[in-house]
Amino acid sequence: MTLERSFGMVKPVVTALKDDYVKSGRYTVNAKLAIDVNKKQDVNPNASLPPAQLREELAGDSAPALVRIDFAATFRDHLLVYGWILGLRRWVAGAEIRYGGAVIDLTSLGIPVPRPDVTQHFAAHIKTEDDNHGFCLLVALPDGGTRPGYLRLVVSLHSGETLDRVWPVGTGDAGVTEILQKNRPVLAWMLQHLPAPDASLLGELWESMAPGAGKERDSNSALQLQFGVDACVLLERRLLVVLGWLNDRDQLVTTARAKVAHQTLDFLQDIQVAAQPGGHANRPHGADASMRPGGDANVRQTVRGEAVPQRGFSWVRALPQAIEESTDVVFEIAAGTRQRYVRRRVCANALDARSDLSRVLHRMEPDAAIDLIERIAARLDDTPDAHATFKWLAAVHAQIVERLPAVIPTLELPRCAVHIDVAIAVADQGVFLAGWFYAEPGAVKQLAVHAGLESHRIDDTWFRTSRVDVTTHLSSVQIACATHEHGFACFVPLQNFKAVPFLSISLGDGSVRRVRLPKSPPATALHTVRAILTTFHATGRGLRPFLDRHVGPAVRSVWQSRARAEQPLSVDRFGIPPSSPRVSVIVPLYGRHDLADYQMALFADDPDFQSAELIYFVDDPSIYDEFRARCRDMHEIHGVPFTIAYAGTNSGFAGATNRAASIATADRLLLMNSDVFPKQTGWLGRLLSLYGSLERPGPLGVKLLYEDGGLQHAGIAFRRYAPWDGLWINDHPQKGQSPSGLAGIRSVEAVTAACMLVDTSLYRELGGLCEDFIVGDFEDSDFCLRAAAAGRPSAVALDVELYHVERQSQDRIGNAHWRSNLTLYNCWQHDLRWAAGIEAQQREAQQREARHS
C-alpha cells in the first residue's frame, strides 16, 4: 500500500479490520455485543437528524453505531485503544473507558486522530463539521488490577444523551501480537504522528512485543507522560542544575527525590515550574514551555482539540558536599504505587559541565535562559571559589542578552504593553530611558533595567508623561485607556555600564519577559543633553522630584563628562588697539555673525570705542572662516579697532565669555550680547564713570529696551514660577512697559549679562561665569549671587539705555521644546544652589523695608 496520505491509508485498513473482527471470532462477547459487532454499519435513512434522535432507534435494535473501537490490546501493563466516536470534537461532552476497575478519561488522555473515512462513511446522511472523530489511547494500568478481555466505553453527548458500549480487548502475548501485526500500518502511522513521548513509549512497547527485541527496559509508567529530564549539569562540582518537564505534579506525583553520590535531596523543593499560560489570546502558542531546551512549545493536543501544555521546570540546588568524580544522578519519582527512575550522568570536570550548561542555555528561549542564569548566579554565593564561575556565567548571560528581542509587539504581553523609545547612555553612570508603558491593574508586578547581573527597578520612581499618540495606537488594537498617561522617563544608574542593558517586565502571573534596550549612537555631550531634555514635557505632577532624581543627575553627568580639550586660542587683531584700554568689551558670537557689523556701524562714531578693547569671541566653528574673512572689511569701513578670538569649538555663553576674559587686558570687563545696540554714542563712557563713582561695586547693569522702546530689563528680580513646581526664575519686572520714570542707580538682586560691567579682578576672583549652565541662561544671576555673597552686590544704571533686540542671538537653539526644557534644567540647577540664599535675601530685604516704612 502506498502512503499517499496517511489518512487515506487508514481507511481501507479500518474496513479490513472490521471484516477481520467479524470473521476471526476471537473475542468473547455477549450476544448483545455480537449483535453490535456483527451488525453492518447501516446508516439510518433519517440521518439528517442530530445524534440524540438517532439514539432512539437503539431501542429498536436497529442501532446505528456512532462509536467504534477498532482495536484494543493490553500488554506490558499498558492499555492501547484505537477507535472513533462520531463528532468526537464537537458533540461529545465526556468519554470514559472502564477497564478492569480502572476508569480512564478519554477526553484528557486520548490523542486525537483525524478520520476522514468516518466522515465519508456518514457523509451522505450526516453532515459532520470536521474529521476529528478518531482517538488513540496508550495508558499505563495500575498494579494489581484485573486484565479482562473487554472494556466499556461510555460516551455522554452535549445533547444530554449517553452511549454505553462494550468492546473486546486483546490480551495475552499471542493475541496481542496478532493484533499488533494486523494493525501494523496503523501502528506505524501512530509512531509517526503521535506526539514524541507517546510515540516513543509505543515504540518501546511494540519493540518489547516484537520477536527478538529482547531489550530490558524500565517498565514505563504513566509517569512517562508527566516527567522527563532534558539536561542535568553539575557546576563547580557542587551546584546541580536540572532542566526537564513535569506535569500535574500536584495531583499524581507523591514523592520526588534526587540521589547523587550518597546524598539524597528532595526534588520538589526549590523546583520552579513554568507558569500556566491560562489561555491568553495574546500568546498563540499558549504554553510557556520555554523551559524546555529547543524551545518547542511542548503541547499535547487532547481528543477534544485542547492544547494541554507539558510544564517545564528548572531546579538549581547546591549540594551539601562537593562531588569529586563524575557520577550518576538518579531521579526517583513516585505516583501512587508506580515508581520511575531516571538516571543522568554528571561530570565533575568543571569545563565540561560549563560547556554542557552553555549548550543548554543557548538552546533555550532567552527569557527562560536568563531566569535560570539569575537563579544560578544567586546560588553561586553559597559556594566558595565561585568568582571564576560567576565571570563565565556573566559572559554567557551577555551572549544570551544579545538574543533578546529589541521590541515586544504590543499584543504579545498579557494585559500590558511596553515600548522603549530611547535609551541614552549617560557617560559612565548609567542610562536615561524614555518610552511608554500600559498595564491593567495587576498585570505587571515591576519593571527593572539590568546590566549584566546588576538590576535596578524603575517603575517606582519614574516620571509619567502624557502620550496621546499611544492612546491612539492602543485603541487601534482595541485597547481602551482611561488616561493618556502612558509615557515614562527615568535615569537608571548602572555600574556595569559596559554590558548590554535590557529591560525586564515581571508579569502578574509570575513570568518575566525581557527586551533589549535600543542602542543610542555616540553623540556629543550637547546632543546627548538635548536627547535627554526632549524626552518629556514639563507638565504634570512630580516635575521637581523628576528633575532632582532623574534629569538633573543625568544631564549633569553628561555635561561634566564632555570633551574639553583645552585648545589654544586663535587671536587676530584689526586696527591698532588702544594701549591702555579703559574697558574690555566682550561679545560672544554664535550663528549670526553679521550682528557684529551692525554693532560696529554704531560704534564707528563713538569715541569711547577708540579707547576700548573690543573682543569678539567666535563660539561657532561653522561661522569662523566666513566671519574672519569679513573682519578687515569691517575695520576699514567702520574704523573701530577690534580683536577676534576663537577656540575651535562651541563652549556656550559661559565658556566663551570666560575664555575671552582670559585675554582681556583692561581693568574693567563689559559683558555684552551681540544683539545689544546702543541708543546714543557716549554710553560706555557714562557707564564707566558711574561705575567709578560707586564704592566697591558689584556687577553693574544697564536699562535695556525693546526695539519699540518698551522696557526689556531694569534689573533682575527673583520670583517663584508655579508651572515649574515653584522653581526660582529670573524675572524682568515691568517687561514691555514704558521705561519712563526709571532713573538713577538702583540696587537689584542681579543683572543680565547681556550688558554688564564688572571689575576684571572680581570676575577672575569668582572664577568667571559658571560653565555648568548649558548653552546660556542663569549663569549671569548665578554670578551676581556669588558676587553678592562676596560682598559685591549688583546694581543697575538706569540712565544708560541700550536696545536689546532679543532672540536674534538665540538662533542657536531653534526648537522650542528643547529650548524650553534646557531653560528648565538651567533653572533647576540655579534653584538647587540658590533657593535658600534667595529666600534669605528677600526676607532680609522685606524686613529692611518694613523697618524703613
Member of 219, 808, 820, 842 binding another protein (CB under 8 A): 808
Helix (H, G, I), strand (E, B) or coil at 69: strand
Whether 763 contacts 657, CB under 8 Å: no
Member of 433, 602, 660, 787 binding another protein (CB under 8 A): 602
Amino acid at the residue 502:
F
- Torsion-angle region of residue 553: left (phi > 0), alpha (psi -120 to 50) or beta? alpha
User: Whose Cβ is closer to another protein: residue 625's or residue 707's?
Assistant: 707
Member of 50, 100, 148, 639 binding another protein (CB under 8 A): 639
User: Whose Cβ is closer to another protein: residue 428's or residue 636's?
Assistant: 636
Least distance between another protein and beta carbon 632 (Å): 8
> Distance between CA atoms of 226 and 220, rounded to whole angstroms?
11
664 binds another protein (CB under 8 A): no
C-alpha cell at 353: 559541565
Member of 638, 659, 792, 830 binding another protein (CB under 8 A): 638
677 binds another protein (CB under 8 A): yes
Binding span for another protein by CB under 8 A among 169-177, 501-509, 655-663, 800-808 = 800-808
User: Whose Cβ is closer to another protein: residue 565's or residue 629's?
Assistant: 629
378 binds another protein (CB under 8 A): no
> Distance between CA atoms of 338 and 322, rounded to whole angstroms?
32
User: Whose Cβ is closer to another protein: residue 603's or residue 653's?
Assistant: 603
Whether 130 contacts 192, CB under 8 Å: no
Residues 832, 837, 841, 847, CA torsion sign:
positive
Least distance between another protein and beta carbon 581 (Å): 22
Burial grade of 494 (CB within 10 A; 0-12, 13-18, 19 or more): buried
User: Whose Cβ is closer to another protein: residue 271's or residue 604's?
Assistant: 604
819 binds another protein (CB under 8 A): no
598 binds another protein (CB under 8 A): yes
User: Whose Cβ is closer to another protein: residue 497's or residue 598's?
Assistant: 598
> Distance between CA atoms of 770 and 785, rounded to whole angstroms?
12
User: Whose Cβ is closer to another protein: residue 648's or residue 814's?
Assistant: 814
Member of 322, 601, 832, 835 binding another protein (CB under 8 A): 601
CA 73 to chain centre: 54
User: Whose Cβ is closer to another protein: residue 480's or residue 629's?
Assistant: 629
Least distance between another protein and beta carbon 552 (Å): 34
What is the DSSP secondary structure assignment for residue 333, as one 8-state letter? E
Least distance between another protein and beta carbon 641 (Å): 14
Q: Which residues contact 196 (CB under 8 A, 6 or more apart)?
A: none
What is the DSSP secondary structure assignment for residue 789, as one 8-state letter? H
Q: Which residues of 589-621 are buried (b: 16+ CB within 10 A; e: fewer)?
A: bbbbbbbbbebbebbeebebbebbbbbbbbbbe
Least distance between another protein and beta carbon 592 (Å): 10
Among 460, 465, 486, CA closest to 538 = 465
Q: How far apart are the two ends of the chain, measured CA to CA in Å?
A: 117
User: Whose Cβ is closer to another protein: residue 461's or residue 680's?
Assistant: 680
User: Whose Cβ is closer to another protein: residue 625's or residue 636's?
Assistant: 636
807 binds another protein (CB under 8 A): yes
Least distance between another protein and beta carbon 848 (Å): 39
User: Whose Cβ is closer to another protein: residue 669's or residue 805's?
Assistant: 805
* For helices 779-789 and 816-852, angle between their N-to-C axes, nearest 10 degrees: 30
Least distance between another protein and beta carbon 808 (Å): 6
Binding span for another protein by CB under 8 A among 120-128, 288-296, 437-445, 805-813 = 805-813
- Nearest 5°: the CA angle 31, 33, 35 is 70
Whether 730 contacts 750, CB under 8 Å: yes
Rounded to whole angstroms, what are the CA distances from 227 to 59, 128, 290, 292?
46, 37, 16, 12
State the maximum Cα–Cα separation within the chain, in Å, rounded to a whole number. 134
806 binds another protein (CB under 8 A): yes
604 binds another protein (CB under 8 A): yes
Whether 531 contacts 523, CB under 8 Å: yes
Q: How many binding residues for another protein (CB under 8 A)?
A: 21
Binding span for another protein by CB under 8 A among 15-23, 38-46, 628-636, 781-789 = 628-636
User: Whose Cβ is closer to another protein: residue 609's or residue 825's?
Assistant: 609
Among 314, 319, 516, 497, CA closest to 408 = 516
Backbone angles phi, psi at 235, to 5 degrees: -90, 135
707 binds another protein (CB under 8 A): yes
Member of 388, 637, 694, 836 binding another protein (CB under 8 A): 637
C-alpha cell at 230: 532534558
> Distance between CA atoms of 853 and 848, rounded to whole angstroms?
9
> Distance between CA atoms of 830 and 383, rounded to whole angstroms?
51
User: Whose Cβ is closer to another protein: residue 667's or residue 707's?
Assistant: 707
Whether 610 contacts 603, CB under 8 Å: no
737 binds another protein (CB under 8 A): no
> Distance between CA atoms of 359 and 366, rounded to whole angstroms?
13
Member of 325, 636, 667, 839 binding another protein (CB under 8 A): 636
Binding span for another protein by CB under 8 A among 97-105, 211-219, 259-267, 804-812 = 804-812
Member of 605, 626, 765, 844 binding another protein (CB under 8 A): 605
User: Whose Cβ is closer to another protein: residue 242's or residue 705's?
Assistant: 705
In the numeric block, the cell 553679521 is attached to 594
Binding span for another protein by CB under 8 A among 21-29, 329-337, 630-638, 815-823 = 630-638
Whether 631 contacts 656, CB under 8 Å: no
C-alpha cell at 647: 577656540
CA 783 to chain centre: 43
Binding span for another protein by CB under 8 A among 243-251, 729-737, 789-797, 798-806 = 798-806
Least distance between another protein and beta carbon 567 (Å): 30
Member of 173, 440, 633, 839 binding another protein (CB under 8 A): 633
CB hemisphere CA count around 368 (13 angstroms): 27
C-alpha cell at 272: 520552579
Binding span for another protein by CB under 8 A among 429-437, 517-525, 785-793, 802-810 = 802-810
Binding span for another protein by CB under 8 A among 158-166, 213-221, 499-507, 635-643 = 635-643
Q: Which residues in this chain contact another protein in the complex, by CB under 8 A?
A: 597-598, 601-602, 604-605, 633-634, 636-639, 675, 677, 707-708, 803, 805-808
